[in-house]
Amino acid sequence: MTVLTPAIGWVGTLLGLAGSFVLSVFGFRAQRRPSAVRRSQLRFAVWCMVGGAVLAMAALEVALLTDNFAMSYVAETHSRATPLFFTVTSAWSALGGSIVLWALVLAGYTAAVMRQVGSTDDRLGTGALAVLGVVSVFFFGLVSTVANPFKILPNPPADGPGPNPILADHVMVAFHPPLLYLGFVGFTVPFAFAISALLLRKGGVEWLRRTRRANLVAWSFLTAGLVLGAWWSYEVLGWGGYWAWDPVENAALIPWLVATAFIHSAVVQVKRGMLQAWNFVLVIATFALTILGTFLTRSGVVASVHSFTESGVGPAFLGFLILVLAGGLTLFALRGDRVASPARPESLASREGVFLVNNLLLTLFAFVVLSGTLYPIIVEALTGNQVSVGRPFFDRMSVPLSFALLLAMGVGPFTPYRHASVAVLWARLRVPSLLGSAAAAALVVPGGISSAGVVIVAGIAVAVVTASVRQLIVTAPKPRRKGVPRVLRGQRAYWGGQLAHIGVAVVAVVIAVSGVLATRATVTVDRGESVEFAGYTLTFEHSEEHTQPDRSTRDAHIVFRSDGQVAWVAEPRLNSFNNQTQAVGQPSVWSGPSRDIYVALVQLGDDQVSLNLYRYPLMVWMWVGGGLIAAGGFWALSGRTRRATANNTPEPVMADA
Partner 1 sequence: MLAIVALVGLAVGGLLAAGPGTPDRAYELEQRLRCPVCKSVSIAESPAETAEAMRAVVADQVAAGRGDQEIIDYFRARYGDWVLLDPPASGSTLALWMLPVAAVVVGGVALALLRRRPDAVDEVTSQDRIRVRRAVDQVRSRGADGDMP
Which residues here bind partner 1, judged by CB under 8 A? Answer: 238-241, 244-247, 303-305, 342, 344, 360, 364, 367-368, 371-372, 375, 379, 383, 385-393, 397, 430, 433-434, 437-438, 440-441, 443-445, 448, 450-452, 455, 459, 585, 600-602, 612
- CA dist list (Å): 601 to 575, 590, 608: 11, 15, 11
Q: How far apart are CA 335 and CA 355, in angstroms?
A: 25
Nearest approach in angstroms of CB 388 to partner 1 is: 5
Quick one: 35 or 385, whose CB is closer to partner 1?
385
Cis peptide before 479 (omega within 30 of 0): yes
Nearest approach in angstroms of CB 40 to partner 1 is: 37
- CA dist list (Å): 268 to 90, 283, 315, 638, 644: 43, 15, 38, 20, 17
Quick one: 47 or 239, whose CB is closer to partner 1?
239
**CA-only gyration radius of the chain, Å:** 27
Q: How far apart are CA 83 and CA 91, in angstroms?
A: 13
Quick one: 416 or 515, whose CB is closer to partner 1?
515
Nearest approach in angstroms of CB 439 to partner 1 is: 9
Quick one: 5 or 297, whose CB is closer to partner 1?
297
Nearest approach in angstroms of CB 656 to partner 1 is: 21
Find out whether 276 and 207 touch, Cβ atoms under 8 Å: no
Nearest approach in angstroms of CB 119 to partner 1 is: 28
Nearest approach in angstroms of CB 25 to partner 1 is: 39
Quick one: 305 or 566, whose CB is closer to partner 1?
305
Nearest approach in angstroms of CB 320 to partner 1 is: 25
Quick one: 210 or 335, whose CB is closer to partner 1?
335
Nearest approach in angstroms of CB 115 to partner 1 is: 30
Q: What is the residue type of 177?
A: P
Q: How far apart are CA 335 and CA 357, in angstroms?
A: 26
- Exposed, middle or buried, 448 (CB in 10 Å: 0-12/13-18/19+)? exposed
Q: How far apart are CA 317 and CA 142, in angstroms?
A: 9
Find out whether 213 and 189 touch, Cβ atoms under 8 Å: no
Quick one: 367 or 403, whose CB is closer to partner 1?
367
Quick one: 193 or 262, whose CB is closer to partner 1?
262
| 71: DSSP letter | B
Closest CA to 225 of 627, 622, 533: 627
Sign of the torsion angle spanned by Cα atoms 421, 424, 430, 433:
negative
Q: How many residues are recorded in the chain?
A: 657
Nearest approach in angstroms of CB 520 to partner 1 is: 8
Find out whether 365 and 245 touch, Cβ atoms under 8 Å: no
Quick one: 13 or 269, whose CB is closer to partner 1?
269
